[in-house]
Chains A and B, each alone.
Chain A
Amino acid sequence: MGRYPRWPIHFALIGAGIVMLVPFYWVLKTSVSGENIYAYPPSIVPRHIHPFFYIDVWYSIPFARYFLNSVAVSMIAVVCNVAFNALAGYALTHGFRGKNAVMLLFLSCMMVPFQATIIPAYLITGKLGLLDSWLGLALPQCSTIICIFVFKSSFDAVPRSLIDAARIDGLPEWRIIWHIMLPLSRSAIATNVILAFIWSWNNFLWPLIMTRSADMQTLPLGLARFLSYQEDTTGALYAFCIMVLAPGLVLFLMAQREFIQGLTSGATKG
C-alpha cells in the first residue's frame, strides 16, 4: 500500500518477539547450566554447559512411564478426533432433517467449558468403569466442536460437481470421504492433529482428577508433582520443562503453516 517507514514496525515486532522468547531462552539456559537458581545478578550467556539435569530427571522419576502414558492418551485422542470430526463435518455439509437441532447443540456445547463439567464427568467415567485408564483419560477429548467446523468449512470448499460425479459412479459415502474429501483437506487434518495433540498432551485438570495409581500419571501431573517436592531449587525442574515442551513445539513447527491456515479459515468461515 502507501509509502511509510518500515522500521518502527520491525522495531515493535522485535520487541514483542523478545518478550515472547526470553522465557524460553531463560529456561533452556538454566536447564543446561543450573545458573540463576541462586546466583544474582544473573548472567546472560551460560558459562558452563552440561547435560547433568536431563540425566537427573531421567533417573529421579519414572519419566519413561509418564511419557508412555502421555503418548498413548494423545494418540487415542488424535486418531478419534480426526475420524469422528471428519465424519461429523461431512454430515453437516449435507441437508437432512434435524440438522439445525444438531448445529444448535454443537454451538451450545461450545459454551460449556470442560472445567464446568468435572464433577459429573468424573462420576460418569466412574460408571463406565474407565477411571484410571488410557481410554478414560482420552474420552472427553475424542471429538471437538471447533475441529468439526474446521472440517466442515474445508469440505464445503470442495466442488460440488466432483462429489456428484463420484456419486454417479456409484461410490459409497465413506469412500467419497476417504478418496475425495480427505486428500483435499490437508490443512484441516493438520489443524485437527495439532489441536487434538496439544489439548490432550497439555491437559492437566482431567488427569489430576481421575488418575489414582502412580502408573497412570501423565507428564503434566508428573511435572506438577516434581515441582511440589523439589520446589524451584534445581535445574532438573527446568530440564523436565524442556523435555515436556519439546514434542508439542516440534509438531507445531513442522506443520505450522497448514495449521495457521486451517485455523484462520475455520475461525472465520466455520
Chain B
Amino acid sequence: MLRPRTRQALLLWCFLAPSLAIFLLYRVIPVIWNLVLSFQYWSPLKAAEFAGWDHYEDLWFDDVFWQALWNTLIVIASAPIGIALALGLALLVNADIRGRNVYRTIIFLSYPLMTVAVAIIWRWMFDERVGLINYAARTFDLVDKPIPFLNSFTWALPSVIVANIWQMLGFYMIILLAGLQNVPRELHEAAAIDGAGAWHRFTRITLPLIRPSLFLAFVVGMLNSITSFDLVYVMTGGGPGRATEILVTYIYKLGFVQTKFDDAAAVTIVFFVLLISIAWAANRFTGGNAGAVETE
C-alpha cells in the first residue's frame, strides 16, 4: 500500500501520460532524430553512415536553399504588418460601439477556414484575366494592363503574403483584444484628466500594457507564416522558378519528392535554429517576460 501522497502523484503522472507520449513521439524524438539524421548518409533502403558536416556543406553551395531561406525571412518580416493591422482593428472593435460583436465575428471568420480552399480562392482573386483584384485595379485606372500576380517574380511572394495576412488577421485581433481588455479603464481616464492626448495615451499606457499579447501575437504569427506550406503549395507550388520557395516547401520537396531524407533533415535543423533565434530575439525585444505570459 502506497502512501496517499505518492499515490496522488502517481495518478497525476498517469493523467499526463497520454499527452506526454504524443509530444514525445511527435515533438521531442523528431527534433533529436532530425539532428542525428542531418549528420548521416541515410535513405530508407540504405544503412546509416556518418556524414559529418557534409549535408550542411552542400547547403552552403545550394542556391535554392539560400533563396528559400531569404523568402522565409521576408515572410517572417511580413508578420508585423499583419499584427499592426490587427492592432488597429482590435482598438476599433474594443471601442464602445453598437454591433461590435458582429464585427469581431466577421473579421475572425477567415481563421477557421481550410487553408487549401483559401489558397484556391486567392489564386483566383489574383488571376490575370478574371481576377477581382486586377478588375478593381483596372476600374480605378491603377494599372494599364493586368498584372499576372502569381506568375510574376516580383509579385508572387507578396501575393502569398497578402493571402496569409488575410487569413490570420482575425486571430491576431482576438489575441490583442484580450490584451486590450485587461488595460484598466481608470488609467486612461486619469491620464485624460491630466491632459494627455489620445496618441500619448496609446503609446504610454496601452502599448506597454499589451506587450505580452503583442509578443504572443508575434510568435503565433511567425510560427504561422514561416509554416504556411499549404498556401504556397496550392497557390504557386514554390514558383515561378523558385520565387516563392520557402524552407518548409523545400524540406517537403527534398524529403518526399526527391527522397533525400538526410538533406531535408539538415534544412530542417537550419529552419529550427532560425525559429528559435527569432523567438528568443522577440522575447528580448518585448521585455524578456514571455514565460510569464504562459505560466503566470
Contact = CB atoms under 8 A, between A and B. Distances in A.
Interface of A: 1-2, 6, 9-10, 12-13, 16-17, 19-24, 26-27, 36-42, 80, 83-85, 87-88, 90-92, 94, 96-98, 102-103, 105-107, 109-124, 139-140, 142-143, 145, 148-149, 173, 194, 198, 201-202, 204-205, 209, 219-220, 223-224, 227, 232, 237-238, 241, 244-245, 248-249, 251-253, 256, 260, 263-265, 267-270
Interface stretch (B16-24, B49-57, B73-81): B16-24
B23 A143 contact: yes
B120 interface: yes
Contacts of A97: 9
A39 B130 CA distance: 7
B295 A107 contact: yes
Interface string B256-296: 10000100110010011001100100000000000101111
B200 interface: no
A78 B185 CA distance: 38
Contacts of A268: 178-179, 182, 212-213, 293
17 contacts: A1-B188, A9-B97, A13-B92, A13-B103, A21-B106, A26-B132, A42-B130, A96-B12, A117-B31, A119-B268, A124-B30, A202-B115, A205-B230, A241-B117, A245-B113, A245-B114, A268-B293
B174 A20 contact: no
Contacts of A107: 291, 294-295
Contacts of A245: 113-114, 117
**A-B interface, 5 closest residue pairs, ranked by CB to CB distance from nearest:** A264-B178, A117-B30, A120-B30, A120-B33, A87-B15
Main secondary structure on A side of the interface with B = helix
A17 B16 contact: no
B271 A17 contact: no
B107 A16 contact: yes
Contacts of A122: 255-256
Contacts, number: 273
B93 to A, nearest CB: 7
Contact of A88 (B16, B37, B177, B216): B16
B109 A249 contact: yes
Contacts of B103: 13, 16-17
Given A17-B107, A118-B255, A143-B22, A10 B97 contact: yes
Interface in B1-31: 8-9, 11-13, 15-16, 18-20, 22-23, 25-31
Given A94-B12, A202-B116, A116 B125 contact: no
Interface residues of B, number: 99
Contacts of B124: 26-27, 232, 238
Which residue among B28, B30, B93 has the maximum number of chain A CB atoms within 10 Å of its CB?
B30
A269 B296 contact: yes
Given A21-B106, A267-B178, A120 B166 contact: no
Given A12-B92, A119-B264, A270 B106 contact: no
B113 A202 contact: yes
B19 to A, nearest CB: 4
A114 B27 CA distance: 8
A97 B5 CA distance: 11
A241 B19 contact: no
Given A20-B109, A20-B169, A26-B132, 4 more contacts: A87-B16, A112-B272, A116-B268, A270-B293
B242 interface: no
B117 A223 contact: yes
Contacts of A204: 114-116, 229-230, 233
A53 B238 CA distance: 30
Given A42-B135, A84-B22, A119-B264, A260 B174 contact: yes
Given A143-B23, A249-B109, A116 B16 contact: no
B105 A143 contact: no
Contacts of B113: 202, 245, 248-249
Given A119-B251, A260-B174, A85 B120 contact: no
Given A16-B107, A20-B166, A245-B114, A84 B12 contact: no
B177 A84 contact: no
A9 B291 CA distance: 35
A178 to B, nearest CB: 13
B19 A103 contact: no
Given A227-B120, A260-B108, A267-B213, A88 B26 contact: no
A6 B264 CA distance: 54
B252 A102 contact: no
B125 A121 contact: no
B26 A139 contact: yes
A119 B121 CA distance: 30
B127 interface: yes
Contact of B130 (A37, A143, A237): A37
